[in-house]
């Protein structure tokens, strides 16, 4: 006799899947970072490619492994993000890289953090169906991020980085879809 495995997704997992699917494509991200309290400003342009990841794909299986999740646990969906960033004021390449996101319940598993190459987790929620809010904590720092889909051609993002209760940086982003 064969048993059927029923996959049940939470409301949050449905929302994160829809958000990742709607975010898939190529984006031009104009970013401005404010270092606090000095107020130093950095302007960055990034070319970003986002690909939706289906449950069971090899990237999500790898992500679950590096987070030491049991083999019986499957991340429900995710996103693979690749970027190349240029400092506009200094006219030089700032960074390039990639990261993986995988969802399970109200947790996003990542293969790396904003300021670390080690795997991290973030708690997420939706303030509305088009606005994803994340909170990530590691190395005595807190990263709070809000990503908002504006129609199907734009996204806005804001990141606030805090360490020991003091805000260190605010990042604001306007992202324009280049292609789906």
Residue 52, domain CATH: 2.40.128.20
Supply the pLDDT for residue 68. 96
Q: What is the pLDDT tens value at each position of the chain, 180 positions in all?
A: 333 333 446 778 899 999 999 999 999 999 999 999 888 898 999 999 999 999 999 999 999 999 999 988 999 999 999 999 998 877 777 789 999 999 999 999 999 987 788 999 999 999 999 999 999 999 899 999 999 999 999 999 999 999 998 999 999 999 999 977
> How do residues 108-144 score in pLDDT, each as one tens digit?
999 998 778 899 999 999 999 999 999 999 989 999 9
Q: Give a three-class secondary structure readout of 38-78.
A: CCEEEEEEEEEEEEEEECCCHHHHHHHHHCCCCCCCCCCEE
Total domains in the fold of the chain: 1
Has residue 144 been placed in a domain?
A: yes
Supply the pLDDT for residue 9. 60
In the chain, what are the helix, strand and coil shares in percent, each to the nearest 5? 10, 60, 30
Checking DSSP bridges between strand 25-35 and strand 166-179, what pairing results, if any?
antiparallel
Has residue 2 been placed in a domain?
A: no
Has residue 5 been placed in a domain?
A: no
Count CA atoms closer than 13 A to 2's CA, side-chain side. 3
Has residue 73 been placed in a domain?
A: yes
Supply the pLDDT for residue 2. 35
Whole-prediction pTM: 0.88
Has residue 71 been placed in a domain?
A: yes
Has residue 1 been placed in a domain?
A: no
Has residue 42 been placed in a domain?
A: yes
Torsion of CA 157, 84, 80, 138, to 10 degrees: -60
Checking DSSP bridges between strand 120-128 and strand 77-87, what pairing results, if any?
unpaired
81: containing domain: 11-177
């Amino acid at each position: 006799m064969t048993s059927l495995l029923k996959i049940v997704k939470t409301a949050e997992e449905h929302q994160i899947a829809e958000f990742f699917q709607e975010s898939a494509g190529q984006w031009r991200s104009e970013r401005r970072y404010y270092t606090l309290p000095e107020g130093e400003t950095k302007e960055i342009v990034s070319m970003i490619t986002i690909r939706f990841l289906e449950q069971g794909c090899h990237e999500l299986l790898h992500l679950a492994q590096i987070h030491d999740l049991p083999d019986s646990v499957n991340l429900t969906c995710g996103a693979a993000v690749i970027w190349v960033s240029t400092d506009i004021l200094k006219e030089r390449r700032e960074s390039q890289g990639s990261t993986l996101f995988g969802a399970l319940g109200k947790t996003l598993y990542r293969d790396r953090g904003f300021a670390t190459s080690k795997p991290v987790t973030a708690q997420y929620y939706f303030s509305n169906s088009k606005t994803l809010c994340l909170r990530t904590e590691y190395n005595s720092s807190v990263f709070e991020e809000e990503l908002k889909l504006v129609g199907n051609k734009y996204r806005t993002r804001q990141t606030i980085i805090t360490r020991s209760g003091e805000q260190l940086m605010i990042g604001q982003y306007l992202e324009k879809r280049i292609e789906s």
